[in-house]
Structure 1
Amino acid sequence: MALGKYAVDYEQRVNYDRLRRERLDRAKEQLNKSGAGAIITWDEANIRYLTSYYVTTPMRPAEMQCVLLPRNGEPILFGGGTPSETERRMPWLQGRVQPGLPPFKVVAHNEDHIAVQVTVDIIGKLLAEYGLEKEPLAIDGTVCGVILERAFKKRGIEVIHGKPILDAARVIKTHDEIELMRITCQNSESAFAAIAEAIRPGIRECDLVGIGVKALYQEGADHTEDLVCCSGYNTNPYGWSFTDKPLRPGDLVYIDVDGNSYQGYKSCVYRTFCVGKATQEQKELYQECYEMIYGAISVIKEGATNHDVALKWPDSPQYWGFKDWAEVMPYAVGHGLGLTLHDPPGISRYMMAVGLPPTELKVGMVIALETYAGHKGGKHGVRLEEDVLVTKDGYEVLTRWPVKELMECWLPYN
């Protein structure tokens, strides 16, 4: 169940000290397994995982913030604003907030650039202080990885790929992470409630996106992606955007509350609505989509694989009127959820077709499953998505907005 969001004295809710401690413990466990002496990450989700520091959207492209985690030490945050102010607000980082590294992504084109050299000097000195200068350094989350690898190599420091280390830490959610994901799914229900109430002829797809985003921020979201909203002819073939198209009576409209973030944790939820009374054809198409998604959910359990889930979906791209799995990969797909919208594991028939090996599902994974029903050349398309937790008894569907039947909105006939 999703508890209240605010700190109270009468109920144990999210324990943020425990959340930070257990996330860091998992990261160190995977770092030790990797053989690296330290990892440095510019990835905003991994920065938050290691320190709870939130990298705001405008700062992400510049790669101005990063975290160094030594195997035998605590995380060091670079670029967290004014260090003294950050440490005042985040006392668990006391003494470990440093000014930002040079913005090498913006200015450097090779490993000999002064911005890269200064970065390597600073990190190299810290590695030496921890006695790790002879051990591999894992690098994650920067588009300048090749440049940095060359620069560190010239200093005698081996570089390895860091993403698998923190992916392995984050894929299994702790108790408090799961509670935060329940809350973010709960927030998506507020968005759908506002959207469903607003659906009527004349309102535009972009209007519904704005209504949904407003509802999410009113619920305390710290970020959200643009919602997907497609109606009428925009629902077939499948697309994921929104336009200024006005809704009309009889339109189907599917909406994805995607990237909705609470305390960093994401939900991704599709629902399909009808503007007014639905036809029998629309109801049957909806039922196809519902059976497709819940057939896949039914096999989720510890020890099953991502391939077991994908095998519950149509066995040929011809189902959607296409010849190649690559063309319909988004039509029936699954992806992990957590501090990013797309975490491991990935699930699709396309992944099986290209020969990717299976991934075993484990207790504590959270997976979004999304399916599409719509016939090539048809007038309508239906999209549904649920967020599912793998439990010791099988699974728990975290998303609660009604899904069993096509929801009809704007019913002046009643």
Structure 2
Amino acid sequence: MSTVRTVHAMTEPIETSCNGGDQVLENVRTYRLGRLRGELLKNDCPAMILYDPVNIRYATDSSNMQVWTGRNPTRYVIVFASGPVVAFEFHNCEHVWRGIDCVSEIRGATCWNYFNAGPESAQRAQQWAAEIVELLRDQSADMCVAADRLDPEGVYALQKLGVRVIDGQSIVEQARCVKSGDEISVMRRAISVCERGIERMHEALVPGISEQELWAHLHFENVRYGGEWIETRLLASGERTNPWMQECSSKLLRAGELLAFDTDLVGPYGYCADISRTWTVGHVPPTDDQRRLYAAAHEQLHFNMDLLRVGMTFREFSQRSWKIPTQYARNRYSCVAHGIGLVDEYPSIAHYSDWESGGYDGHFQSGMALCIESYIGAENGGEGVKLEQQVLLTEAGCEPLSSFPFESTWL
């Protein structure tokens, strides 16, 4: 029999407008902008241009067509370390800033990407750069600006006007990596919506439906309760669970085979819920092979959760993490753990076997939200098991943020 589950009651939604008197969101906005400005000062950088819609959301809590503007750079924000926040918004969209008090000025965006500017792209970029330089001169004697994402034409245009452009993504990632208590409170709301979607998938998991149809249940609950989008489509069944990273298809589910998924869900208020579970189709008892795979994945996940402590280096955690048996090593997951906030964030902790080619060091800090990862599937084997738990790192260790149960009867 499968583990008995109870859907958690939804907590009352947070008002999305500061003018509505919601102190939690007001605190979150103040904290996040303060973190970003603190990192700018630490890096002796007077200002940053933000184009990444997730970074704009972090700095200002403003959202406008996030997925579309992620590939069409048509809105941007300049944050000064010791000065104003100036927003440059897409055509006739100034209204999206209602109720957001951190912005001193809203202007129309100068769009110089090829879709908007065509062969006039270089000329528009020069106009854009001139406006940026005018703002910089008003606020700082240092003609330096950080940028999170900037196409080459924009970099060239700023450099022609004497501006030094530095990488801004590292600055934002460092700002985002430590969460306030209010941020965690809002993240828990997104996770509760995600777990409603997981429960809905659990109830719908019967032979004969397609992977895509099952995945739609997660989307439904997310959108229904104010969620925003899902970054991947990682749901697979049967032989498609090994190797991992196969997105959902029209394949019909068969009784008794494994079904695994990774939510990668951006829920209410822009926070991510990144949870993985593995079940059998029809919730029938697992085979001995399925049970062995699941037990290994469960052990890896919980061993690494128990190991992690504040102050530990990334390298030490990687080196001491659960040793993957040889038959599963080739198909290991891409990392041991990673940060989580509005989306997947710094840090990403490489397996120790990958350390020389992909690892980097740092220290775990109290207040980091993290996802601990596990995937177990033999090279050239049959099925595989994917598990992932979202946690908060405190002085006492890892506190689970996601509460959807594991298949304890399989262990």
With normalisation by structure 1, the TM-score equals 0.88
Q: Which residue of 1 aligns with 2:58?
A: 49
Q: Distance in 2 between matches of 1:111 and 1:354?
A: 42
Q: Distance in 2 between matches of 1:338 and 1:399?
A: 14
Is 1:265 the counterpart of 2:271 in the alignment?
yes
Deviations, residues 62-119 of structure 1 (Å, cap 9, x unaligned): 11011101222121111155365345x2351565111012233546799981111011
Contact 2:266 2:342 in 1 (8 A): no
Shift of 1:40: 0.5
Contact 1:174 1:364 in 2 (8 A): yes
Alignment of 1:182-261 (within 5 A): 182-261=188-267
Q: Which residue of 2 aligns with 1:85?
A: 95
Query: Aligned partner of 2:194: which letter?
Result: S
Structural RMSD (CA): 2.7
Q: Which residue of 2 aligns with 1:27?
A: 36
Aligned length: 395
Query: Aligned partner of 1:347: which letter?
Result: I
Give the % identical residues: 26
Q: Runs ≥4 in structure 1, deviation > 4 angstroms?
A: 107-112, 312-317
Structure 2: gaps of 5 or more residues: 1-7
Shift of 1:351: 4.4
Contact 1:27 1:169 in 2 (8 A): yes
Match of 1:73 among 79, 83, 98: 83
Alignment of 1:137-216 (within 5 A): 137-142=145-150, 144=151, 146-216=152-222
Q: Aligned in 2, Cα 1:317/1:147: closer, same or farther, shift over 3 Å?
A: farther
Query: Aligned partner of 1:136: which letter?
Result: C
Deviations, residues 355-396 of structure 1 (Å, cap 9, x unaligned): 633221001111112211122232221110001111122121
Alignment of 1:103-114 (within 5 A): 103-104=112-113, 106=115, 113-114=122-123
Q: Distance in 1 between matches of 2:410 and 2:203?
A: 11
Q: Which residue of 2 aligns with 1:345?
A: 347
Q: Which residue of 2 aligns with 1:279?
A: 287
Contact 2:129 2:157 in 1 (8 A): yes
Deviations, residues 241-294 of structure 1 (Å, cap 9, x unaligned): 111111111111001111332211111111000122212221121111000111
Q: Which residue of 2 aligns with 1:325?
A: none
Q: Distance in 1 between matches of 2:95 and 2:358?
A: 50
Query: Aligned partner of 2:14: which letter?
Result: Y
Shift of 1:128: 1.4
Structure 1: gaps of 5 or more residues: 323-327, 409-414
Is 1:289 the counterpart of 2:297 in the alignment?
yes
Q: Which residue of 2 aligns with 1:400?
A: 403
Contact 2:332 2:375 in 1 (8 A): no
Contact 1:201 1:248 in 2 (8 A): yes
Q: Aligned in 2, Cα 1:84/1:208: closer, same or farther, shift over 3 Å?
A: closer
SS of corresponding position for 2:333? helix
Q: Which residue of 2 aligns with 1:299?
A: 307
Q: Aligned in 2, Cα 1:129/1:219: closer, same or farther, shift over 3 Å?
A: same
Contact 1:19 1:176 in 2 (8 A): yes
Deviations, residues 214-238 of structure 1 (Å, cap 9, x unaligned): 1121222122234421111111222
Match of 1:382 among 380, 385, 393: 385
Contact 2:194 2:222 in 1 (8 A): yes
